[in-house]
Chains A and B, each alone.
Chain A
């Protein structure tokens, strides 16, 4: 007697089934790809990788007759892609090492320091001239004045150095935030090539130089009294003379 019935559906999960074979080939291909990306792959690795990926696809085509195989392998591939994307991001951001941020800080210092030194030189020169003109250069007043303007220079340099360190930290924060954004995009997209392109683009955008604002006139307050004195001397008008005539007449001055 023949009972017939539907044929047994294809299962990729039997002993040495398609899923087991696929995983083995997938892991071999991934390991080889990691070696190639790290730069320490043996000769002929690229051709071997292509062969493994072709075999992997062949097994996938076979195994996809079982829908469970498709679901499971798709998730494993996605997780692999996210991992590769993350490594690409980390690699693109290796340029932002401590030397990079120290260089930025020192560049900022080398922008402001010469301006401070120039202004100090000008201010000191003017003060020395003013003090010498009044005969107070070689006195405690002169010493104190020169010390004050030197103190102001040191304060300016201290502040610039402090701000430069803050600026370097701010830049570091921007870099890390950008990296985090890319990590999030990577987890959403799971396409390592597009993530790689974004990482390189983002890294280039961060490197764009910042504009530094001018430092302003540091020694204006120190020079102000001497400037006012000189201006007053230059603008001094004629000596006051009485409008009342000293000769005869009703308006004569009584001596």
Chain B
């Protein structure tokens, strides 16, 4: 059949078309492969980030709970409780009633009255001192309690950090494994067509047609 085109040129054209098609097929397959690998890595990354987001939320909740306890009204309440506890202990260690002086029955009434007043005043002064000491100690107790609250929160947050670090430590390996799973052998069709196309072009150019 006469097409008006020389066979050599025709073979070159056909070779070019085949080669081009083969290259396109190979390129598409490579792009799809790269996409599948990237998707696999991203899926593993997303799963790890989701786990770590949950841990981060738990840590944030612990922090918020702790931060709540340093609000002014909470601190005042804690200080009051600490002061009351310490004052109760100190004052509770004093005698409930004033001491006595062994005066004789014939002692003048004014002496007895002065003795009783003196000891009563002594007890009152001791109670005042106990309350002052309780108030002073209450400041230290407040910061001691706040320190314990910090310790408790930090334990919980450190635990969550430990888990998050563990998840991140295995992440690169899991991504590599996922990428390997997503990697499929590329079909040889593209390469074959490219090869055929190149061969046709060479043959036409060498005068076989």
Contacts and interface: CB of A to CB of B under 8 A. Distances in A.
Contacts of A11: 181
A146 B126 contact: no
B118 A180 contact: no
B118 A144 contact: yes
A24 interface: no
Contact of B93 (A74, A79, A86, A158): A158
A68 B177 contact: yes
A68 B115 CA distance: 89
B170 A162 contact: no
A150 B119 contact: yes
Nearest to B147: A173
B117 to A, nearest CB: 9
B107 A180 contact: no
B119 A78 contact: no
B31 interface: no
Given A71-B174, A146-B115, A154-B126, A105 B89 contact: yes
A183 B86 contact: no
B125 interface: yes
Contacts of A67: 177
B209 interface: no
Given A68-B174, A172-B148, A158 B133 contact: yes
Contacts of B141: 165, 169
B46 interface: no
28 contacts: A11-B181, A68-B173, A71-B170, A74-B170, A75-B166, A75-B170, A79-B163, A105-B89, A128-B101, A138-B103, A138-B107, A138-B108, A142-B115, A143-B101, A143-B115, A144-B118, A146-B115, A151-B126, A158-B129, A161-B90, A162-B86, A162-B133, A165-B86, A165-B89, A183-B155, A183-B159, A187-B158, A187-B159
Interface of A: 3, 5, 9, 11, 13, 66-68, 71-72, 74-75, 78-79, 82, 86, 105, 109, 113, 124, 128, 137-140, 142-144, 146-147, 150-151, 153-155, 157-158, 160-162, 164-166, 169, 172-173, 176, 179-180, 183-184, 187
